[in-house]
Structure 1
Amino acid sequence: MDNTRIYYLTGRYLEKNLSEAEQEEFRRLLQAPAHQEALQAAFEALAGEPDMNIPRDEALLPLLQQALNSDKPVRRIHFLPRWSWAAASVLLVLAAGAYYWTVHKKNTHPVAIAAKATDIGPGREGATLTLADGSKIKLDSLGNGVIAKQNGAQVVLANGQVAYDPTGNTNGEVVFNTMSTPRGRQFRLTLPDGTLVWLNAASSIRYPTVFPGKERKVEVTGEAYFEVVKNPSVPFSVRVNNKAEIEVLGTHFNVNAYENEQSIATTLLEGAVRVSAANRRGPGAVVLRPGQQAQLSNAGITGIKVANANTEKAVAWKNGLFYFDGATLAEIMRQMERWYDIEVVYENGVPDIEFEGEMTKDVSLNGLLIMLKRTDVRFRIEGRKLIVQ
């Protein structure tokens, strides 16, 4: 039995809406040791309020006691243990639809889920393109077609992605465009040389409309994933926050350079890159192999450190996922600020909690908070402010 079915049956049971066939299926589920972990997680996510008069089935009582009456503080949270992210997406949609279900635990504090009217939707595709003359084009709602003409290229929007179609008509001047995403948006771009770029929320990339001469240079802030077209005779380089430079011949890599993160992290998936730093003590440049990550302190006090990377985690955002393995609550909240365009405020410091698991990003803020309730951290929402109590 898959986890989606377990979640469905548990919800129907708590509502006392199981059909006769479903009742028999649920009895068998309760007796199956292999499904106890998923069953417990479903009850913890969907357990109802006291006035729902939850049936106290003898076979179910131990699980209900564990889910509803635990006194132990949780310090390490299995966010979605052993569940596939595809199943998690379905479960969280159901959870978001049942936002009024919250867990009341003995001697602990439940998460306060905001009313449905204040729910905040997930981020989506969208960006602003700034042309060479300073004019701006909002890409969120435009249809397919040519959206601008720049020196030597037509700017084409097709199926949520911007590309540059060279016209050959250039006056020799190099002009630049900038694509930027606000919080709550991300977008894709094909650069004039065919290089693919995925731009995460609250990020930007500046690039020429036609790559001139013997080099290809772009500048980024925030986070971006690159699939660079190979051309050894015309090297490709990325300037990052005026603090680091990444030089490549042809490769797949991710760069995370948000100012509120501890370091600029360059993660290599394929090929080779040389990462160099300006005005830093310690190693000034390193060459990465696939599966490695270069870390450059945002504080500007150390050189470059190289470590083995979790590449799945590094590009999870591009693949539509939150990846929480080993993440602290503060790290998760920074991701949420960017994706949901919210402000996170801590009333009593940052709880020391570590997470595991992953989930899709296409759920509302309330849907995510329903799962975060297992931390026993209290939240409340005021407008676009999420307050951690």
Structure 2
Amino acid sequence: MSHDARYIAGLIFKHLEGNISEEESNVLKSWAEESAQNRKFFEELTDEELRKLVQRGAAPEDKILQKIRSGINESVEIARPVHSIPSLTGGRHFLKTTWFKYAAAILLIIGISTYLWNRSTKTEESKTVKTETKKKDILPGGQRALLTLADGSTIILDSAANGQLAIQGNSKIVKLEDGQLIYNSGSISSPFEKGGRGDVRSGETAGGFMNTMSTPRGGQYQLTLSDGTKVWLNAASSITYPTAFTNKAREVSITGEAYFEVTPNKSQPFIVKTIKEEITVLGTSFNINAYPDEPSSKTSLIEGSVMVTTVAPYPPLAGDVSPKAKRGWTLKPGEAFTNNKIIKTDITQDIAWKNGLFNFNDLPFDEAMRQLSRWYDVEIIYDKGIPKKQLKGKMDRNLTLRDALSGLDGIGARFTLEGRVVHVTAIK
């Protein structure tokens, strides 16, 4: 079994830092056991002295790379043929085998060097020797969102200062130090407080002031509503909600994808509306994927209970007065509603995005590419049709696009990055 060099490089550093997961540790162990060279190389790189330095953050990058290169040189020395120039006849298989050993070693040092550089650029952006490489890559998405107030005015949340941003009715809108937005309801002595935009009456509805948070492609954001309900908004998504819940039901509407942790209130059910469905809850955790470019929406229940009601066209049941008569489905934890039916679902996969991961296990190729497209804000073009292969495995959403694609390269496709366009070529 072959492993991507950059991926293995990342696992080695996670091992050195002491934050490698059990699953990742098994992958690294499998790679080390593939050959004597891998085992020797791994042992050279993970001696106790270097490990302690890395964990303390005291290991200079040049020292680490020197250690890596010395390990690779010794590995290549083992792989070097007895004759410096193999014969052209009868030696092709030997040449090919040797070449792959050299290639693996070269790829590994490139991968580890790239990994080191990616780590260093998070705290030091001034390495001019790396500038050109950095420009050619695409960084992952981050906390980016636009808040539209009741009067139509907008606030760019990722660049807004921490603290109170505005007052809407009896709710203060506050941006916390970690970037998330919260609504604090209660009596306000003055409609104009320092740092806020004042109590804007324009845009008020019977249910109070309506606000909308929207994320661009390559953005996500966390929001706490006035009742304490927490919402995580994925890329290219939006949520519209009242600044205070004053009606019999707490109603919000979304597009795209969102994860909810709803504050329980039996006397005031929480209702989420999408284009085709309504999800009614009392207090629970669930995920809704309702992107318009997906073939179907999906509501996944993590805990509690929800009822999904749909008015989308489907064959009527006996007694239905119309093919569009409402019909409801009640979900249990571990179940999802999609394509007008209840299915068992992998909850860890459905909410992987909220936990900073891509989970591509058994996903159709084009569905995985749509996730990458939204997160990295790139266009996907299939040069020879969509590969038929389903993907496997998990991936960190903090990787640059090139590193993410390198982890998928060769799994049914080859990738070429041109600006913000990814060309996908299917391979057999």
Q: Normalising to structure 2: TM-score of the pair?
A: 0.66
The residue number in structure 2 matching 1:162 is 181
Instruction: Report the CA distance between 1:37 and its aligned residue.
Output: 3.8
Runs (4+) off by over 2 Å: 6-12, 33-43, 52-62, 64-69, 91-99, 114-117, 167-173
Rounded to whole Å, the distance in 2 between the matches of 1:247 and 1:9 is: 43
Judged with a 3 Å threshold, the aligned counterparts in structure 2 of structure 1 residues 40 and 262 are, in CA distance, closer, same or farther, namely farther
Aligned to 1:118, which of 136, 146, 150? 136
**Percent of aligned pairs with the same amino acid:** 40
Tell me which of 127, 130, 145 is aligned to 1:127. 145
SS of aligned partner of 1:207:
strand
1:194 aligns with 2:228: yes
Report what 1:204 is aligned to.
Answer: 238
C-alpha separation between the residues in 1 aligned to 2:287 and 2:355? 12
Equivalence for 1:274: 307
Structure number with higher helix proportion: 2
Shift in CA distance, 34/192, structure 1 to aligned 2, threshold 3 Å: closer
Correspondence for 1:383: 419
Question: What residue identity is the alignment partner of 2:378?
Answer: I
Which of 260, 263, 283 is the matching residue for 2:296?
Answer: 263
Residues 5-64 of structure 1 show CA distances to partners (whole Å, capped at 9, x for unaligned) of x9459999xxxxxxxxxxxxxxxxxxxx99344565998xxxxxxxx99826359999x8
The two structures, once aligned, show a CA RMSD in angstroms of 3.7
Please tell me the residue identity of whatever aligns with 1:266.
Answer: T
Matched, 1:361 2:397: yes
Checking the alignment, whether the CA contact within 8 Å between 1:328 and 1:352 is kept in structure 2 is: yes
Asked whether 1:328 is paired with 2:364, we answer yes
Distance 2:34 2:305 in 1: 45
- Cα distance 1:9–1:336, how it changes in 2: closer, same or farther (>3 A)? closer
- C-alpha contact (below 8 Å) 2:9/2:112 kept by paired residues: no
1:315-354 mapped onto 2 (5 Å cutoff):
315-354=351-390
Distance 1:92-1:321 versus aligned 2 partners, 3 A rule: farther
What is the rounded CA distance, in whole Å, between the counterparts of 1:289 and 1:223 in structure 2?
Answer: 20
Alignment pair present for 1:142 and 2:175: no
Which amino acid in the other structure matches residue 148 of structure 1? A
TM-score by length of 1: 0.72
Q: Give the aligned partner of residue 217 of structure 1.
A: 251
Identify which of structures 1 and 2 has the higher relative contact order when contacts are C-alpha pairs closer than 8 Å and 6+ apart: 1
On the 8 A contact 1:92/1:367 being kept in 2, the answer is: no
Q: What is the correspondence of 1:295-334 to structure 2 with a 5 Å cutoff?
A: 295-296=338-339, 304-334=340-370
CA–CA distance in 2 between the matches of 1:154 and 1:257? 29
Q: State whether residues 122 and 365 of structure 1, in contact with CA within 8 Å, keep that contact through their aligned partners in structure 2.
A: yes
Q: 1:7 to 1:34 in 2, by over 3 A?
A: closer
Q: Which has the larger radius of gyration?
A: 2
Q: Structure 2: where are the runs of 5+ without partners?
A: 14-26, 39-72, 82-92, 102-109, 119-131, 189-198, 318-326
Equivalent pairs counted in the alignment come to: 315
Deviations, residues 202-231 of structure 1 (Å, cap 9, x unaligned): 000000011113210000000000000000
CA contact (8 A) 1:95 1:367 kept: no
CA gap of 1:190–1:10, structure 2 versus 1, over 3 A, is closer
**What's the CA shift for 1:352?**
1.5
In structure 1, the partner of 2:278 is: 245
Decide whether the 8 Å contact of 1:96 with 1:370 is kept in 2: no
Q: Given that residues 389 and 412 in structure 2 are in contact (C-alpha distance below 8 angstroms), is that contact kept between their aligned partners in structure 1?
A: no
Partner of 2:46: none
Equivalent position SS for 2:370: helix
Amino acid at match of 2:311: A
Distance 1:224 1:238 in 2: 10
Shift, 1:276, TM fit: 0.7
**Are 1:268 and 1:290, in contact at CA under 8 Å, matched by a contact in 2?**
yes
CA distance in 1, matches of 2:223, 2:117: 37
| Change beyond 3 A, Cα 1:8–1:295 | closer
SS in structure 2 of the partner of residue 192 of structure 1: coil
SS in 2 for 1:322: strand
Tell me which of 23, 45, 55 is aligned to 2:76. Answer: 55
